[in-house]
Structure 1
Amino acid sequence: MFYDYHMHSSFSNDSKTDMEDMIKKSIDLGLKEICFTDHVDYDLDADDDWGIDYNKYFDKISFFQNKYSDKISIKQGIEFGLQEQIIDRCSKEANMYPFDFIICSMHAINRSDLYFGNFFKDKTQHEAYEIYFTKLYNIIKNYKDYSVLGHLDLVKRYGNYDKLLDDKLFSDIIEAILKQAIHDGKGIEINTSCYRYNLPDLTPSRYILNMYKDLGGEIITTGSDSHNPSQVSYQFDYIYSYLKDIGFEYVCKFNKMNPEFIKI
């Protein structure tokens, strides 16, 4: 049984898909449980804030939880796009609402959304990667209201570079990030959006996944980062097999922010 713990709907600015369409597709695929993790990103210079009407969000999830209770389990999650200046705001919201699961991602640096590319213009590729990982580390040293780190090496999606840099160039800061997450009882996700972005490796990379395992990391979720039904649980057959091959015995689902370990 597969668990898709990174899924977007029309509550996210970048999706037009109704929640019910994602749910029906998940049922058709035989998923055991899904978690909606719609976007909340504040203080961006290139776009309006990506906020959510939480009351409508939870009401709709609750409605579908009841409607499809005999077919699939549906959890209440969110994906916070963290920046250093909005840590307090995200912490406040994380504790105001009954989340089952929270993804800590970093989509922007100094208000500049990585998607639009401006962040990369005045930097070498090495500088851009190093700044990204260092900022992420500084965030999780101070922000603790999350379950897993989302697409930990997201910076590789963007920048329009000919090839990716070797993770070993940043091994110290990546190790520090993973050790901090493990120390805080947090996890990471494996995110299959790598296939949509035509990346040459998984997200995070096999190097990072193996480092996390070697450091004693155990909390790992699987997410498609889907924004439409065709992307739900994409390549999960391979992902679950790969995790088992490198020594993970369990994947995690979450209930009221507490991890529950599911045998692979």
Structure 2
Amino acid sequence: MLLDTHMHTHFSGDSNADPAAMARSAIEKNLAGICITDHLDYDYPDEPDLFTIDFPQYEKGIRQLQADFSDSLNINFGIELGLQPHLAKKHHEILQEMDFDFVIGSSHVVHGLDPYYPAYYEGRSEHAAYLEYFESILENIAAFHEFDVYGHIDYVVRYGPEKNKNYSYDKYKDVIDEILRQLIAHGKGIELNMAGFKYGLGHPNPTEEILHRYRELGGEIITIGADGHAPDQIAWDFDKVPQLLKAAGFDYFTVFTKRKPEFLPV
């Protein structure tokens, strides 16, 4: 039985999902548990308040959800931090105050632009845009590494002009390998994010090659998430998870509770 530890509810600016509906969907799909990881992206371009969170209401809502489903589903309390170097101090202060089980660090905004939007790619090659994205991850890790795992490391390929048609690990091997080395050096993990299949990429984020390379370099922490924003997206293509993990060299996956990792067999 697997756990889906990356999902968003109406506490995120890009979701209208009822947390209870997410929990019910997880039960219907025979998950052992979930972690709600709503977005916090300060200084989001053009809409700075889109991904901010009312922390008291967020915690109150998730604690009530935990109580309501205490007999049927394990529910953890998490956050997905949208990393930018200048936000390091603010993120540190939040993590000192909040009692999260799990913290995902992710790159959504690169030097003031989100690769979700076409403006990020204007006036340059797709390759240059992708390379800047990966290089920005190194900037984020250098500034802040108080997260547990780095989310969807190749998020950018979901939205590029040709998506992942011309993309491969080999084309960005040097920078991706350095990202993985830095994460491993800091004792951080990565996630197997299944939303790549939802977006029609035919692969997870990051790709199979990157998952394998992380393991090859000595990486040990790997969490699983569908990155769902609606109940029907919970555990997206999770039937593929065991094979993907084993092919990458893992016979387990990781779940965080109170920021401590637990390694569970696939």
After TM superposition, list the pairs within 5 Å mapping 1:40-79 onto structure 2: 40-49=40-49, 50-79=51-80
How far the C-alpha of 1:46 sits from its partner, in A, is 2.6
How far the C-alpha of 1:67 sits from its partner, in A, is 1.5
CA deviation vs aligned residue, 1:11-34 (integer Å, no higher than 9, x gap) = 001111110000011111111110
C-alpha distance in structure 1 between counterparts of 2:3 and 2:102, whole Å: 13
Contact 1:46–1:112 (CA under 8 A) maintained in structure 2: no
After TM superposition, list the pairs within 5 Å mapping 1:154-233 onto structure 2: 154-161=155-162, 163-233=165-235
C-alpha distance in structure 2 between counterparts of 1:246 and 1:185, whole Å: 19
Structure 2 counterpart of 1:106, which letter? Answer: S
**What residue number does 1:239 align with?**
241
SS of the counterpart of 1:114?
coil
TM-score, normalised to structure 1, is 0.96
Contact 1:33–1:72 (CA under 8 A) maintained in structure 2: yes
C-alpha distance in structure 2 between counterparts of 1:179 and 1:154, whole Å: 19
The 10-residue stretch of structure 1 (218-227 or 83-92) with the greater mean CA deviation from structure 2: 83-92
C-alpha distance in structure 2 between counterparts of 1:133 and 1:139, whole Å: 10
Structure 1 counterpart of 2:152, which letter? Answer: H
Please report the RMSD computed on the Cα atoms of aligned residues, expressed in angstroms.
Answer: 1.2
Q: 1:245 to 1:167 in 2, by over 3 A?
A: closer
Percent identical among aligned pairs is: 38
Show structure 2 runs of 5+ residues with no match: none
Contact 2:80–2:105 (CA under 8 A) maintained in structure 1: yes
Aligned residues: 264
C-alpha distance in structure 2 between counterparts of 1:142 and 1:207, whole Å: 27
How far the C-alpha of 1:90 sits from its partner, in A, is 1.5
C-alpha distance in structure 2 between counterparts of 1:12 and 1:237, whole Å: 27
C-alpha distance in structure 1 between counterparts of 2:247 and 2:175, whole Å: 26
**What residue number does 1:28 align with?**
28
SS of the counterpart of 1:112?
coil
Structure 1 counterpart of 2:157, which letter? Answer: K
TM-score, normalised to structure 2, is 0.96
